[in-house]
Every structure is written in C-alpha cells, then in structure tokens.
Amino acid sequence: MKILSLGAGGFIGSHLTHRLLTEGHTVTAVDIETDKVTEFLGHPNLTFLQLDIRSPEWDLDSMVRDSDLVIDLIAYANPGLYLRIPLEVFRLNFIENLKIAEACVRHGKRLIQFSTCEVYGRTAASLKNAGLTDPEDPIHATFSEDTSEYILGPVSKHRWIYSCAKQLLERVLHAYGIEMGFNYTIIRPFNFIGPKIDFLLHEKEGIPRVFSFFMDALLNGTQMKLVNGGSNRRCYTYIDDAVECSWRIVENPGGVCDRQILNIGSPANEISIRQMAELMREIYAEKFRDPAVPLPEIVDVPAEEFYGQGYDDSDRRIPDITKARTLLGWEPKWGVRDILETTMRYYVSSFRKNG
C-alpha cells in the first residue's frame, strides 16, 4: 500500500513507520521533527517531508488523494501543554485533524485516527457520594470502547481540553461514517512506553511525561516528584506490543476494523505513579546506577505547584481489550517491570553516550 503517515516522526509514529517499511509498504511520512527517524531516512520506500501541517504551503488534498491509507498521529499529547497553551491544543488536536479527516472523506480514503484513552476521563469511584459497594473493584475503572460513559472535570479544569478535542473528533468521524459511509478506525492508546518516548526535559514540549521525568531525575540525581502523592494508576503498554496491534489494524483482515474504535493497552500492567517511581528507582539502583550520582529522593508535590492552575487528572484507567483480542487475535506480551527496564536501558545508554 501507499500510506500517508502524519506525525510519523513522533514516539508512536517513528516505531510504526519502521514497521510499515519492514512490511514492504511505501510510506510518505510527515512531521516537524526528524530526530526519531534518522536511522531510516534513506530507506528507498520512504519519503519524509519535514513540515508543519498548519503551514499553508503543504498540499494535503493531493497527498491524501494519492494514498491508499492515511494514518493520523498528529497531536499535542503532553499534560504540561494542556494547561500552558490550551487553545493551541484544541486547534491542533481538533481543527487541524478535522481537515485531514475531511480530505479522506472527499477522496474516499480509509483513515486510521489515533485518539487517546483520556476521552474516558475519570472513574465513577472518583466521584463524591458515588455509593459504590467496592470502589476498588476494577470493574469501575475498566473502559470499553462502545459502552463506557465519560466523566470529565469542570471547564475550570482546562486540562480536559485535550480529552474533549479528541472526543469531539471521534464523534465527527462517527457522524461521517453514518451519513456518508466514511471508513475509519479509531485507536485509543493506553500509556505506551518505550525507546524514544520523549526527549528528557525537552524544552520544546515543556514538562515531559511521567516516565521521562522520572528517568531524567534518575540520571541527574534530582527529585522524583509525585503530583498529588502519585496515587493515580495507569496500565503501561510496551511500544512493540502497541505497534503489533496497530499493524494488524493497518492490515484490517476482512475489514474487521472498519468503523471501529479499539483500545490498545495492557490491562495486567496496572501500577500507581508512586509504585512506578519506586520500581524505576529500584531497577536503576540494581542495573544502571552510577555511584557518583546519588539516588533521587521521591517527594510529593501539589498539582498546582507542578503544572499550574487548571490541572486535573484521571484517577485510574484499565483498558478492556476484548475487541482487539476478538477481531485481531492480539494479546500484549510485555510485563511492566520488563517494559521499564528495557526502556530505561535505552535512555541510560543514550545519556552516557552523549554525556
């Protein structure tokens, strides 16, 4: 296939682009950055365009027309940005992505749209006076693509603008499917981790995601800060597992993914942010520690101090992956400790090589 991959130079995009090329597809990849794809820029089946999709110079319409499949990974996906530049988060994640979807509608091209598990919001257990018999029962935190209700915070907690923009885009794609027969597949990633996830303390992206922040602290001996005590829980998924499932969605055997939403995640890998910090510090001390650099202290910080006004978060989210299992025969293979150790090894090696 001739595949147009937008946002192909990011964390997920770079790994997925590599898989598409390995499988023999011809890929036109678009991104602002090239750092994460430098090793295969010379591949004969890859055309890489370094540009911003918001630029008026690029010809979206003809690129979509000339492709067999469009994969859209473009997003601001960093909580620090949701608070600092919420309007730009909305414009990129909804308005610019909608232009891509509408080009696919015009030319009758299938779209694989990467969304987010953030659309699910909080659990019922997080609500005051929910009256649940057992608030810790995982059933209250397990989210299914087609049946789960969404619970988001108030408008004053504008951290949810990312979730809302992604959710609105999903609803518009669904409407195009109903009214115009548009063929799309929506992917909801659950906390992917692996090499290239972030540049450590990357100034262009602001505060890095939690793994990268902890990794930076370990390498430099600075504090591992737990926002509001690190009680929130996540299910982490290794990027190789995620790409395998994404690849099967690209292949779409028998059209099983047509107009479907699929969670990609590892339900067995639930861990709190505090537990993650402790486990990363334990692995680092055992496998990678430089005796000259002290192990970092784990400290609690208020969310407003760390992120600023308007912060809020999901308390817990476990993916129901029944659809991926049933439609695609996919099963995640990586456990959380192996995910962290493998990803940490990549960053330790890179840090010491460049330092």
Q: Which residues are catalytic?
A: 162
Residue pair 293/219 in contact (Cβ under 8 Å)? The answer is yes
Of 39, 55, 42, which is closest to residue 6 (Cα–Cα)?
A: 55
Q: How many residues does the chain have?
A: 355
**Distance from chain centroid for Cα 196:** 12
Q: How far is CA 241 from CA 36, 121, 248, 280, in A?
A: 19, 24, 11, 20
Q: How far apart are CA 173 and CA 216, in angstroms?
A: 38
- Phi, then psi, of 263 in degrees rounded to 5: -75, 140
Residue pair 203/265 in contact (Cβ under 8 Å)? The answer is no
Tokens of 74: 């473009």
Secondary structure (DSSP) of 219-242: HHT--EEEEGGG--EEE-EEHHHH
Q: How far apart are CA 107 and CA 180, in angstroms?
A: 12
Secondary structure (DSSP) of 298-309: EEEE-HHHHT-T
Tokens of 200: 């450590």
Give the list of residues 6+ apart from residue 117 with CB closer than 8 angstroms, or none. Answer: 143, 188, 189, 190, 191, 263, 265, 317, 319
Tokens of 166: 């992604």
Q: How far apart are CA 266 and CA 259, in angstroms?
A: 23
Residue pair 76/11 in contact (Cβ under 8 Å)? The answer is no
